[in-house]
Structure 1
Amino acid sequence: MTLPTLDNLGKGPFFLMAGSCAIESNDLAFEIAEKIDGITKAMGIPYIFKGSYRKANRTKIDSFTGIGDIKALEILQAVGKHYSLPTVTDIHESAEAAMAAAYVDVLQIPAFLCRQTDLLAAAAQTGKAVNIKKGQFMSGASMRFAVEKVLHENPEAVVYLTDRGNSFGYGDLVVDYRNLPEMSAMNVPVIMDCTHSLQRPNQTTGITGGQPALIETIAKAAIAVGADGIFIETHPNPSVAKSDGANMLPLDQLEGLLEKLLRVREAIV
């Protein structure tokens, strides 16, 4: 299993980071991984399986947070071993870095936490790759300091930067595509999170909304301006997903979307 880097991507396809928002069950994780693994292998797209072992950033006290940390991490590990896939999950506090690193290949720093020096340092110290999501309140150019914090602790670290939109008022996000080339200038692979970018956060209902009909639009534009990777949360039935269902891509629509994105990629390289 090889992680995608600028050196091995070259002029080939973009890579995909995808899975359900949260690890809900063993069966669901394997169902999603099997489907996406088959699609991406047929298309020659490098694939990293994504699943959050715990959701720490929830609006309401009774929102779903997870099935148990170790149980979910063991499912992530089992998926990775069964399909020979790298895996990624979020961490939220410094103490979680070593725990999660024992099970996955990439540690993801949530957007709200991308300035947390101790968290970035702890992730780097594990020796795992680190995917830093750009804060909704930050420019692409300002993310160089987050990259520097990781590389200060581990100069050999594989670092990814992921854009997920910028706050637009209290309850919306907008994607500024200038951020992608700004982050690419830091010589790290840049990813577009095509699902969280379409969230409608901070709704008075306590449930985050979304605009999943625009996932294809966000993804096509990202590939066109040079994104190295695409991040998509997907589920066989988003309406029953336990987390972020309002902005997920239905799993049966993923193959068609990837086919279109490959054609965009071929047109620009």
Structure 2
Amino acid sequence: MVLIAGPCVIESRENVMRIAESLKRYAEEETIDFYFKASFDKANRTSLESFRGPGLEEGMRIFEEVKERFGYRTLTDVHETWQVPAAAETVDVLQIPAFLCRQTDLLVAAAKTDCIVNIKKGQFMVPSDMKYSVLKVLKTRGFESADYETSEKAGVWLTERGSTFGYGNLVVDMRALPIMRRFAPVVFDATHSVQMPGQGGKTGGDSTFVPYLARAAAAAGVDGFFFETHFDPAIALSDGPNMIRPDALESLIGQIKAIREIVEEA
């Protein structure tokens, strides 16, 4: 089971190290393929005044320290093609943000690296149309078809993070998970799926629904899970209403693993 966890954004070196320390148990778990996640720049914040992060250079220095200190594989998102080469030198997974999931030049640039490419499904996208984003990466890497086995071999993932439902809310259609698994391994992003965009110049959310959606995704069948974590979401500088504490994550992972075992035995 792939597990992607960490803070929404790099708030400070100290903040990242504290959160990374709290996630050590998952990197040591043999049944979990763990990746530490953080963003060096949140280029798609609602307001110009919102905190974005330390930037590429400082962000990569912090990622290098995380890898040296904890031995974690790491994931970060990239928003522009010029960021890709520098990020690829440090992290193991390049994530394409949901709003940019059709951005051809960005997908091709990421495909030209040795990194796994994790494409987040846009809130506005039909699940079946994500096949074409996958194909942009696969064809750049020399593959002609998009199916689960090919994408797994080529290092291409898809992440579900909810769909726009009118204004100010997202919903998760669990049918999207098996649809997208036809052409790539699928990760379920339980924390971004509870977002409520458009809350007075920022994005709100309700993290109390994270366990329900995560358990439902485990029952539907996915390859991994994405959780943004923070030791105190109330003071987080980005996505606080959606994040969960590391201690809450521990019990939820146990529930997910139990559900997965039932599904695999069925």
TM-score between both structures, scaled by the size of structure 1: 0.91
Shift in Å, 1:128: 1.1
In structure 2, runs of 5+ residues without a counterpart are 143-152
Aligned to 1:215: 210
Q: Deviations over 1:144-188 (max 9, x none)?
A: 1001000111136300100000000111000011111011111x2
Q: Distance in 1 between matches of 2:26 and 2:230?
A: 15
What is the DSSP-based 3-state SS (H/G/I as helix, E as strand, rest coil) of the residue aligned with 1:181?
helix
2:162 aligns with one of 144, 162, 165: 165
1:259 corresponds to? 254
Tell me if the contact between 2:42 and 2:52 (Cα under 8 Å) persists in the aligned partners: yes
User: Are the aligned partners of 2:56 and 2:83 in contact in 1 as well (CA < 8 Å)?
Assistant: no
CA contact (8 A) 2:6 2:37 kept: yes
Aligned to 1:175: 172
What is the aligned residue count? 254
Which amino acid is the alignment partner of residue 262 of structure 1? Answer: K
SS at match of 1:89: strand
The answer for the alignment partner of 1:71 in structure 2 is: 58
Q: Distance in 2 between matches of 1:78 and 1:140?
A: 37
Residue 110 of structure 1 is matched in structure 2 by: 97
Report matched runs for 1:177-196 at 5 Å.
177-186=174-183, 188-196=184-192
Paired amino acid for 1:224: A
Distance in 2 between residues matched to 1:84 and 1:44, nearest whole Å: 17
Q: Percent identity?
A: 48
1:113-262 residue pairs with structure 2 within 5 A? Answer: 113-155=100-142, 157-186=154-183, 188-203=184-199, 205-262=200-257
Consecutive unaligned residues in structure 1, runs of 5 or more:
1-13
Pairwise CA distance, 1:250:
1.6
- Cα deviation, 1:117-151, whole Å, max 9, x if unaligned, reads 00100001122110000010112211010010001
Question: Which shows bigger deviation, 151-160 or 84-93?
Answer: 151-160
Task: Tell me if the contact between 2:158 and 2:180 (Cα under 8 Å) persists in the aligned partners.
Answer: yes
Is this contact kept in 2: 1:32–1:235, CA < 8 A?
yes
Q: Contact between 2:5 and 2:229, CA under 8 Å: does it hold in 1?
A: yes
Q: Is the 8 A contact 1:166 1:175 kept in 2?
A: yes
C-alpha distance in 2, partners of 1:87/1:80?
8
CA-based RMSD? 1.3
